[in-house]
Amino acid sequence: MRIMGLDYGSVTVGVAISDELLITAQGIETIQRKHETKLRQTLARIDELIKEYAVERIVLGYPKNMNNTIGERAVKSEEFAEVLRKRTGLLVVLWDERLTTVAAHQTLILGDVRREERGKVVDKLAAVLILQGYLDFLSNQRKENQGNRIDTGEL
């Protein structure tokens, strides 16, 4: 099983994929589109990646406000999640992504990546951070369940 992580932006979608053991997330690409409402090619590319990597679940970044409220970007992510569910038939998990783009920028700055290059990879790195957070959560859940000897049927 593999999980896909997505960082959904106004004109880009960063894409990451887990390894088969659900331990690590790797950045795959950043999908570009000309306008926020033009999703056909974006969705077609996501479909291709789902097939190529045998993805069974999608984790979509959910950009809540810092005070935990839902703003315009979060609503757009909810709408995109519903489109993904209907189109792919897969479980789409909304995952709190607060500060992942900031963390991605900081990581690239610390890595001495030039400003021009940062813009090309920041969304892909944000998708990695979103997916890795989710994978770490799953790992912790499995450890807790093993310690309690509870079989939840999850992974």
Averaged pLDDT score across all residues of the chain: 85
Q: What is the pLDDT of residues 42-90, one digit of tens each?
A: 999 999 999 999 999 999 999 887 788 888 888 999 999 999 999 999 9
Q: Which amino acid is at 100?
A: T
Pairing of strands 2-8, 91-96: unpaired
Give me the pLDDT at residue 36, please.
75
What is the structure's pLDDT at 97? 83
Query: What predicted TM-score, i.e. pTM, was given to this entire model?
Result: 0.82
Query: pLDDT band at residue 108, thresholds of 50, 70 and 90?
Result: low
